[in-house]
Chain A
Amino acid sequence: MAQVAARPASSVDMEGRPWVGRSIERVEDAALLTGRGRFIDDIGTPPGTLHAAILRSPHAHADIISIDAEAARRAPGVAAVLTGKQIEALTSSLVVGVKAPVECWPIATKRVRYVGEPVAVVVASDRARAEDAVELIDVEYRPCMAVVDPLAALAADAPVLHDGFPSNLASDRSFSYGDPDQAFAQAPHRFSIDIRYPRNSCTPIETYGVIATHDAAEDAFDILANFQGPFSIHTVISRALKVPGNRLRLRTPPDSGGSFGVKQGVFPYIVLIGAASRAVGRPVKWIEDRLEHLTASVSATNRATTLSAAVAADGRILALDWDQVEDCGAHLRAPEPATLYRMHGNLTGAYDIRHVKVRNRVVVTNKTPTGLNRGFGGPQVYFALERLVQRIAIGLRLDPLDVIKRNLVPANAFPYRTATGALLDSGNYQEAVARAVEQGRLAELMARRDEARAQGRLYGIGFTAVVEPSVSNMGYITTVLTAAERRKAGPKNGAQATATIALDPLGSVTVHVASVPQGQGHRTVLSQVVADVFGLKPQDIRVNTEIDTAKDAWSIASGNYASRFAAAVAGTAKLAAERIAARLARVAASQLNVEPADIVFAAGFVGSKHNPENRLAFSRVAALSHWSPGSLRDDADQTIRETVFWSPPELTAPDDDDRMNSSLCHGFIFDFCGVEIDRTTFETRIDRYVTMHDCGTILHPAMVNGQIRGGFAQALGAALYEEYAYAADGSFLTGTFADYLLPTTTEVPDPQIIHMETPSPLTPLGAKGVGEGNCMSTPVCIANAVADALRLADVTLPLVPAKLADLARGPEPLPAAGQTRAAAAREADRRLRGEGSAAVKAAPEQVWTMLLDARTLQAVIPGCQRIEKVSDTHFRADVTLGIGPVTGRYRADVELFDLDPPNAVRLRGKAEGALGFGDAEGRITLEPDGKGGTRLRYSYDASIGGKVASIGGRLLDGATRVIIGQFFAALARKAGGGASASGFSLVALLGRLASLFGGRR
């Protein structure tokens, strides 16, 4: 056997350098580059698997009056249609993160609270048939007022989403550290800033997927999902599915197409599809589509923040006063409101500020529920803090960089306890800034700005200093509770990382971790780490990162989030390997007749340090436990398999004064950039971006840079392009990749990356997290540069050129005399208004008669299949309408009122169909034209929502005009021999509003 496993010495690394710290090629890549990746939708399903499609709410807020799913249940291939009522019977409500009598279901029960909320699940033989049946479900809604703004949600008269919360306020906590009131009272200056941080998401290119099987014989679930953790959510899922944890086998596929936090949000669908599988007694698969993902997967929180600073004359910040209103969307899904508390220990950023006051409020609004997203709370906090630092500099006529430097935590202060409780483990921020300024050639950038400005160009420079926390304390979320509530709930702290090393009978090494990578290359790094311990090559180590909660070592902290891999998981793998290595050393010492302390692992051998000839092949020593346990030394123990759990002791629970060490490690980032704004288009071009990172020990330089570049590109998107936009009525406006804009190769520049390595004393490898930092630092760095270029006091993200232009340009040239100017629309006012007229040959009396005649209307309205006259002034109609190729069926209901025959009438109506809904009011007037005919004038005011608003908002106005124009044109034609007119324009309108679609050409 030894011969089989021994490798020729020539194949080992002869330099003896450690593998950690080198940019070796990734073990993951060969499969991914040849089309052999195994993502969830690439993996086969059990025979008999059915496919799910989901009917989703077109309304932001509405009561569900009735659901008629009979036609859908009878449709070809359909096995079941499940509505909220059935899911309620099959599951329990999801646990909510605050103490309140509030339910949270993975599907709407009696009310919908956001556009895209699931209303019914169809299970059918294939996805297309399931979608066919979804269209046959008839839901009657009673729309309610919606609220989308977090501050408006707090108003006394705001519509209330959940009866269990007092108003829409889910949590309200105030904190005080040091003596902020005194600091503010005594400080010579006070600066404040109001921030609205928008909604966005890191939108992985692979969407959610779930394949669920319920085993009725043992009442157990086997569920494969591209979930990313944290596995604390396993407890939420098993409770919701009403099985103990040991009957929920949750597995992940070998590959996942990116996550960035977002795939934590798949868990409500794990419950939903699990319940569907139980209902139909067959495996059920669901792959989310892109429209579903953008509309209703998960989002980062948007936040309204008022931040004030007490400032000394030299720019030193003496105290901060945070007032944060966090918008978690329609449901407070686990682990929210974690986004708000993740940064609690770091509210002073990279600065030495001893007095801090905080008020944290969490509200619910009619938007998609929020969850994990790269940066997780960091972008929101640093946008406020670093914009304020720039304001302070401008206000005091200081250099912004000087203000940053003056406030940095002193280099000799580490480990440094922040006012709010974080333990900054290591760093030298002054040194990092100095190196970045030097290596990043700040002086040259300043000269470029001077030169550009001298030429009349719009050029600005921005700075940011950021502390990047990593490895979350699983107890930080309990800061949302009072100390008394925490005592009652029991202690929560720490974060168990786990790694297992196994040696097989041929002595080859397998590593398993519960880190659930989503593309970061964990398998490669672990092979390096373990190879170093055993004196092997990375290719000798096989790493498995799939997770199976029925068989693998895991805990609630398992998973891929909070940048915990390098710091916690890789370190734990090292500890596990070292534990086995220590035993192997004893085994080898006994075989080689040396002391264990003399044993060294190198070049594929276990041998004596002092006598390199005295050695055994690693595989021979490694295999001994299998083949000959009797020959092991008594104190050696088995060397077959070792699992280590590691939870750093520094991650303590919040103390009674609410000080919270929310994360284990704290990297440092200092960014600066130069931007130029185009004077015509107001597009922001990044001239140069410099990002300095101190993330402790670097395990794989190319992967670290990959994390930085990837985070930077997403942050550039957040800064310039990306927003999950909502209208005031809760309509979702960015439902395709043509409206939710991810940056591409032509938008993303290459940042200059500079490194400094200050190892963490608290992690086994000295490494800290690095993946989230630029999502925290870059949006505000770019915003500071744009504010500098345009000399603006307030900028909001994303920095849409039109918004900047409207802020920066002077008054607009007026239209020429006699030219009409469209009334300026209010922000987020999506009501469609218009007016027009048509010449009709018939007299007003005739037109009037036709207007109230169902048969005439049916003949005139294109696509009208049926008109039902409910009363003389009330009609119902089924119409199929479209513009171009876009068509949809609608059920319309129209009433005429304020009848003034034959002069004028008002009408009001609504329509609902698979593509959306609308309501409208209009007025039609008929005047004799003096030639026996009629001058018909109309005006309308309509609102449209649902799918068409999400995916075709760009075209809504024009489509509406086409529909109405066509209707009256047809009317006028018809009335050549007698015409009709009607409020049914709104039917047509609602129908054809359809004409929206997304997609680039």
Chain B
Amino acid sequence: MTRLAAHGHHPVRFHLNGKPVEAEAEPRMLLSDFLRHRIGATGTHVGCEHGVCGACTVIVDGMLTRSCLTLAAQVDGCEVQTVEGLAPSADRLGILQQAFRRNHALQCGFCTAGILMSLDHYLRRNPSPREADIRDLLSGHLCRCTGYTPIIKAALEAAADFASTTEEKSDA
């Protein structure tokens, strides 16, 4: 049994986008705050802190996860993926990211990281989604700028691109 005292600062270690990270956190620190303010991975955004807006969505051990509804301490030892891990290299965009740019599927970009994580997770498992599937998936995200249509279009285009370039799947 591990018991972390309320006001202590305890080490939390996990793999972030494949690389080990470590920092200290109080038990009450949310994963979203830990990623942003302890690790400096500010690409994951915080929009509501009650699990509705979806901006903070990341992937923990292969599960889509609202990082605002998760404690940093809970992911100790886990594999965490965030938007910072999506591009194949610093100067290139992945297929999904390219589709977003091409379709103007973002405006302010604040909600985008969470949406990308949901789509990346989903498209890897569901290579030929229908529009209704994408709409159902993304109903767990709020976007105030785009009216959603370009996002849906980008997702479907990305799925098609994935299918035609399966060898590049790691670029998602």
Contact = CB atoms under 8 A, between A and B. Distances in A.
Contacts of A414: none
B17 to A, nearest CB: 10
B170 interface: no
B108 A737 contact: no
Contacts of B143: 205
Interface of B is mostly: loop
Contact of B36 (A25, A42, A714, A748): A42
A821 interface: no
Nearest to B147: A709
B109 A32 contact: yes
Given A26-B104, A290-B47, A290-B48, A35 B42 contact: yes
A112 interface: no
Nearest to B99: A33
A745 B152 contact: yes
A101 B148 CA distance: 47
A30 B86 CA distance: 12
A227 B133 CA distance: 37
A128 interface: yes
Contacts of A205: 45, 47, 53, 55, 108, 110-111, 142-144
B79 to A, nearest CB: 17
A255 B108 contact: yes
Contacts of B147: 706, 708-713, 748, 750-751
A458 B100 CA distance: 38
A871 interface: no
B169 interface: no
A29 interface: yes
B28 A128 contact: yes
A29 B7 CA distance: 40
A706 B148 contact: no
Interface centre among B82, B104, B106, B107, by most chain A C-beta atoms within 10 angstroms, is: B107
Nearest to A517: B108
A708 B145 CA distance: 10
B52 interface: yes
A726 B153 CA distance: 38
B15 to A, nearest CB: 17
A708 B109 CA distance: 17
Nearest to B113: A35
A745 B156 CA distance: 14
Interface stretch (A256-264, A428-436, A877-885): A256-264
A538 B62 CA distance: 40
Contacts of A723: none
Contacts of B46: 41
Contacts of B150: 706, 709
Contacts of B144: 202-205, 258, 260, 710, 713-714, 742
Interface string B11-46: 000000000000000101100000010000111111
Interface residues of B, number: 57
Given A41-B46, A744-B138, A745-B148, A34 B106 contact: no
Contacts of A39: 42, 45, 110
A35 to B, nearest CB: 2
Interface centre among A519, A521, A703, by most chain B C-beta atoms within 10 angstroms, is: A519
Interface string B84-106: 10110000010001001110101
Contacts of A207: 47
Interface residues of A, number: 59
B49 interface: yes
B57 interface: no
Nearest to A259: B108
B80 to A, nearest CB: 13
Contacts of B109: 28-29, 31-33, 37, 255, 257, 519
A745 B151 contact: yes
Contacts of B148: 709, 713, 744-745, 748
B43 A36 contact: yes
A252 to B, nearest CB: 13
Contacts of A260: 144
Contacts of A999: 50-52
A478 interface: no
A100 interface: no
A41 B86 contact: no
A23 interface: yes
Contacts of B49: 289-290
A202 B47 CA distance: 14
Contacts of A960: none
Given A41-B42, A205-B142, A737 B151 contact: no
Contacts of A25: 101-102
B112 interface: yes
Nearest to B103: A702
A35 B47 contact: no
Contact of B110 (A128, A206, A710): A206
Given A42-B36, A290-B48, A737-B48, A206 B93 contact: no
A746 interface: yes
A520 B107 contact: yes
Interface in A685-726: 702-703, 705-706, 708-714
A539 B134 CA distance: 33
Contacts of B139: 744-746
Given A25-B102, A33-B112, A737-B52, 14 more contacts: A30-B101, A33-B93, A34-B83, A35-B86, A37-B43, A206-B47, A206-B110, A258-B110, A290-B53, A521-B107, A706-B150, A709-B150, A745-B152, A746-B135
> What are the 4 closest A-B residue pairs judged by CB atoms, nearest first?
A35-B43, A519-B108, A32-B109, A257-B110
21 contacts: A29-B101, A33-B86, A34-B97, A35-B41, A39-B110, A202-B144, A205-B53, A207-B47, A255-B108, A260-B144, A290-B47, A290-B48, A521-B107, A705-B104, A706-B107, A709-B148, A713-B146, A736-B52, A737-B52, A746-B136, A999-B51
